[in-house]
Chain A
Amino acid sequence: MLEAQAVTKVYETRGVQTDALRCVDLQVGEGEFTALAGPSGSGKTTLLNLFGALDAPTSGRVTLEGQDLAALTASQLAALRLAKLGFVFQAYNLIPVLSAVENVQFVMELQGVPPAERRRRAMQILDEVELADLAEKRPLEMSGGQQQRVAVARAIVSGPRVVLADEPTANLDSRTAAQLLDLMEKMNQERGVTFLFSTHDPQVIEKASRTVRLHDGAVCADEWKRDL
């Protein structure tokens, strides 16, 4: 489903070049619940951004369902993200001027789903993440854990093929993080959505069915914990 072939990414800041990824080859299959693990600066987020069509590799090829992302324009990439990808970020995931239910509906609105239908689906998914009673609250009126659950709901509601989550538990206490992981695992198992995390949280690594370890921009281990 997702594939990186000999991908390198070099950042240049004031003439100084930094290798963020070095010749990475990785395949992520449909329905996986995979963690990209590694210390800070190992290239986890960079790889996640490349898979999410949020950045372009310096060299190599990134594909989603066989489609080379480098061949697409900015508008085509936006359409691809809208149709096939969901995102959960570390923090400040939600649009502050929109309520929880509006945040969840936002992607469907961009997709052109009729108002009544998107409201119904948004309330249904908020109910699944046990936040239906906070539907009209704005992000600042919710806790970090609640915001992350709304972000998961938003990522899932439009029926994406893959959800990319960048350190989703980093700002949460262990109990809230466990609840969030349970929720994402449930979505993975019940809806068959592929999840790819970047993390250095042992709780996430423990939960993941596959852990790809990165070090200094290269894959150093690829561990399967159980069969899917």
Chain B
Amino acid sequence: MPWQDFLRALGDRLTWRFAWRNAGRNHRRTAIVVSATAVGVGGMLLAMAINFGMIFEMVEAAINTEIGDLQVHGRGYEDKPALEVRITPQSGGVEKLLAGMHGVRAWAPRVLGEGLVFSPRTSVGVRVLGVDPDREAKVSVLAGSIVEGAWLDGNLRRLVIGERLARRLQVGVGGKLVLSAQALNGDMVGEAFRVRGLFRTTSRALDEGAVLMRLDESQALLGLGGDFSELVLRAQPGADLALLQKRLRRRLGGGLEVKTWRQLEPVLVAMIGMYDQIGWIVYAAVFVAMAFGIANVLLMAVYERIREIGILTAIGMTPSRLVAGVAVESLLLTLAGVAVGFALGLGSVWLLRDGIDLSAWGEGLHAFGIPTRIRPVIRSTDLVAPVAVAVVTAVLASLWPALRAVRIRPAEALRHV
């Protein structure tokens, strides 16, 4: 059967050695194919690395700034994020609840409420975040994002706000603000605070619309007692979040919801998936364009070797072996291009390892939660896609010239000079 003969020929060292020698016989032509493939693959690899670098920075920023690796809420919080849906610690508190929980690096409770903050000049609707200053510093970068003043400490009646919010309220560090909110029992409550510090993060929503205060003060203000709204957890590096989530659910019981960052930020997850799909499509488009170039080069090679094909046929080479030879030659040229492309792409990524400074577009990027310095990221799967697409392309591109080669009658080929 021709197919069996073809597959046998593909696995034959003779086919590979012969194709290797043929690929190397016209250096200029080989260099053109390899260069074209290399530039395509290298360029794509770099583009994908920058794209994924940006997305991963966004994910990292979201995890580090606010959401953590996992969050625990009272059941129904996702549908109705209100004070009523809260976590009431059992006796012994959260410490007892999470004792011996392998894979948890840090945790912090938070109170989440809504309120109105008044400065002497204006007022702004805000999210109220009650945090444990010490624990919060271990689960998020908020404590380290202070650009003016200081992070929350033991001093009472202090707020930390975003510098954007400070501009809107026209206050600075030490300025006085009044926070008004609806407590758990429905009463309107309010208290005066001093601004202790200003922070700047990658989250515009946080910078423009959140006030941070001590957990105990927020619980007292909103009438929550010892309850809180969410528990943020950071996992040990490399921990399996799904497994950790399962174990937490078992430990915490059915009254609470445990979600990973993937469930909390489905938009980011969708973006990663979308970029993956786009990557495949763009790779396919690049390789289809290259396939015409490869086919053209191989066709020229076949026409140059017509007499040689006649001799090979005369001495007993089967049509299937001829096709396999052209296919392997195409594969070798393409894979050489992919290898050089990898070197180019990985080299470029290494050169950009300190990140690309996009601060010139900082305002616009901040609106989407994109950091202004992007470090390109190459995942192992980014190296699989071009190889897979290249192999398919190389074989398809070789079919036309290979079939032309086997259609030449031996006697006719031998007349060719």
**A221 contacts chain B at the CB level, 8 A cutoff:** no
Known: A55-B409, A95-B308. A75 touches B25 (CB 8 A): no
Interface residues on B, range: 20 to 34
Contact across chains for A82 and B315 when beta carbons are under 8 A apart: yes
Asked if B278 is at the interface (CB within 8 A of a chain A CB), the reply is no
Tell me the bound Cα distance from A46 to B25 in angstroms.
Answer: 32
**A49 interface residue (CB < 8 Å to B):** yes
Establish whether residues B319 and A78, one from each chain, have CB atoms under 8 Å apart when the complex forms. yes
Nearest-CB residue, chain B, relative to A74: B319
CB neighbours (8 Å) of B24 from chain A are: 97
Are A49 and B22 closer than 8 Å at their CB atoms?
Answer: no
The answer to whether B71 has its CB under 8 Å from any CB of chain A is: no
The stretch that binds B, out of A61-69, A105-113, A141-149, A184-192, is A105-113
A19 to chain B, nearest CB (A): 16
Task: Determine whether B265 belongs to the interface, using a CB cutoff of 8 Å to chain A.
Answer: no
Choose one: A49, A82, A95; the contact of B311 (CB below 8 Å): A95
Q: A54-B410, A55-B411 are in contact. Are A75 and B320 (CB under 8 A)?
A: yes
In the complex, which range does the number of interface residues on chain A fall in? 20 to 34
Residue of A78, A110, A154 contacting most chain B CB atoms (<10 Å): A78
Residues on the B chain within 8 Å of A107, using CB: 315-316
CB <8 Å contact, A97 and B18:
yes
CB distance from A198 to the nearest CB of B (A): 12
Give Cα A110–Cα B12 distance, bound, in whole angstroms: 10
Selected from B5, B308, B410, the residue in CB contact (under 8 A) with A75 is B5
Determine the chain B residues whose CB is within 8 A of the CB of A55 once the complex forms: 409-412
Minimum CB–CB distance for A69 against chain B, Å: 12
* Residue interface mask B320-331, A partner, CB < 8 A = 1: 110000000000
Q: Which label, helix, strand, loop or mixed, suits the secondary structure of the B interface?
A: helix
A93: nearest chain-B partner, CB-CB:
B311
User: Smallest Cβ distance from B27 to chain A, in angstroms?
Assistant: 13
A95–B314 touching, CB < 8 Å:
no
In the assembled complex, which residues on chain A have CB atoms less than 8 Å from the CB atom of B18? Answer: 95, 97-98
Are A52 and B311 in contact, with the CB atoms below 8 A?
Answer: no
Q: Which of B379-416 contact A (CB under 8 A)?
A: 406, 409-412, 414
Contact status of A81 and B2, CB under 8 A, knowing A49-B414, A55-B409, A55-B410:
no
A49-B411, A55-B411 known; A95 vs B312 contact (CB < 8 Å): yes
Contact with A along B255-284 (1 / 0, CB 8 A): 000000000000000000000000000000
Q: Which residues of B contact A (CB under 8 A)?
A: 2, 5, 14, 18, 21-22, 24-25, 307-308, 310-321, 406, 409-412, 414, 417
Give me the interface of A with B, judged by CB distance under 8 Å: 46, 49, 52, 54-55, 74-75, 78-79, 81-83, 85-87, 89, 92-98, 106-107, 109-111, 154, 166
- Chosen A-B contacts, 17 in total, with CB atoms closer than 8 Å, are A49-B410, A54-B310, A54-B409, A74-B318, A75-B2, A78-B317, A81-B314, A81-B315, A82-B316, A92-B307, A94-B311, A106-B315, A109-B14, A110-B315, A110-B316, A110-B317, A154-B315
- For the complex with contacts A52-B314, A74-B319, A110-B316, 4 further pairs of A-B residues with Cβ separation under 8 Å are A55-B410, A55-B412, A87-B314, A89-B314
